[in-house]
Amino acid sequence: MDFFETIFTEAGKVLHDFVSDPANLEDLEKAGSKLVASIRAGNQIITCGNGGSMCDAMHMAEELTGRFRHDRPPIAAIAISDPGYLSCTANDYGYERVFSRFVRGVGKAGDVLVAISTSGNSPNIVEAVKAAREKQMTVIGLSGADGGEMAEYCDVLIRVPHSGYSDRIQEIHGMIIHSLIQYIEENIT
């Protein structure tokens, strides 16, 4: 039982540390406001991440196009996650460009890119946020530790203050994503 208690105690501490910093709650408010403004203007949300973060990106997009807690019109959102696209682009241009090429091809000024990287240093995520800035998109980053290299390219960086294993960061990212979706649902009607 000590094994499981240790896991949940550590997870609780990471959540407590995140919520205890008022700057994190302010960043959530900023990100939520930017997402709502973009949606109201008829723009789309594009999400990306690697591994578990890709699953989080997909989850965010499907909750926006589908529904979360309330019935509402669908919201234009897409995760960069199609395996055919990813393998084709990785083969032709290298994996570090799989997200940035999509952003350059599909993104437009006023859209929002939600880029998820627990380290903030994934080369393909860094390239994606740079491409989004070039396209005059808003960039919301979800990261851990110090935010990594992507931090300097984000309009809003929501950073989980943890530098250990990425699973603790991803757990909070899931809560961040759910809170942003709930904020959107309550503010777009």
pLDDT tens per residue across span 20-29: 999 999 999 9
pLDDT in tens, 42-68: 999 999 999 999 999 999 999 999 999
Mean pLDDT for back-to-back runs of 10 residues, the chain (189 residues): 92 96 97 98 98 98 95 96 97 98 98 98 98 98 96 97 92 98 93
pLDDT at 121: 97
pLDDT at 1: 76
Backbone angles phi, psi at 115, to 5 degrees: -105, 125
pLDDT at 164: 85
pLDDT at 182: 97
pLDDT at 185: 95
Reported in sequence order, the residue ranges of 16-169 that DSSP labels E, i.e. its strands, are 45-49, 77-79, 112-116, 138-144, 156-160
- Greatest C-alpha distance within the chain: 52
Reported in sequence order, the residue ranges of 29-186 that DSSP labels E, i.e. its strands, are 45-49, 77-79, 112-116, 138-144, 156-160
Predicted TM-score (pTM) of this structure: 0.96
Q: How many domains does the chain have?
A: 1
Question: What is the number of other CB atoms lying within 10 angstroms of the CB of residue 21?
Answer: 12
pLDDT at 70: 87
Q: How is the beta sheet containing 45-49 ordered, strand by strand?
A: 77-79, 45-49, 112-116, 138-144, 156-160
| Tokens (6 digits) for 176 | 């961040």
CATH classification of the domain holding 150? 3.40.50.10490
Reported in sequence order, the residue ranges of 4-81 that DSSP labels E, i.e. its strands, are 45-49, 77-79
Distance between CA 90 and CA 86 in Å, rounded? Answer: 6
Query: Is 143 in contact with 159 (CB distance < 8 Å)?
Result: yes
pLDDT at 76: 97
The residue range of the domain holding 131 is 2-187
Residues ≥6 apart with Cβ < 8 Å to 42: 76
| Tokens (6 digits) for 114 | 């939600």
pLDDT at 142: 98
